[in-house]
Amino acid sequence: DAGITQSPRHKVTETGTPVTLRCHQTENHRYMYWYRQDPGHGLRLIHYSYGVKDTDKGEVSDGYSVSRSKTEDFLLTLESATSSQTSVYFCAIRSMGWVNYGYTFGSGTRLTVV
Amino acid sequence: ILNVEQSPQSLHVQEGDSTNFTCSFPSSNFYALHWYRWETAKSPEALFVMTLNGDEKKKGRISATLNTKEGYSYLYIKGSQPEDSATYLCAFNRGNQFYFGTGTSLTVIP
Of the ranges A39-48, A59-68, B12-21, which one carries the lowest mean pLDDT score?
A: A39-48
CB–CB of B96 and A50 under 8 A?
yes
Partners of B100 on chain A (C-beta within 8 Å) are 35, 42-44
Q: Does B49 reach chain A within 8 Å, measured CB to CB?
A: yes
Q: Chain B: nearest CA to A26, how far in angstroms?
A: 18
Whole-number Å distance between alpha carbons of B80 and B13: 8
Q: Chain A: nearest CA to B1, how far in angstroms?
A: 6
- pLDDT at position B30 over 90: no
Give the tens place of pLDDT for each residue, A47-61: 999 999 999 999 899
Q: How confident is the model at residue A1 (pLDDT cuts 50, 70, 90)?
A: very low
Across the beta sheet with B56-59, the strand order is B5-7, B19-24, B72-77, B62-67, B56-59
CB–CB of B98 and A50 under 8 A?
no
Give the tens place of pLDDT for each residue, A97-114: 777 778 899 999 999 999
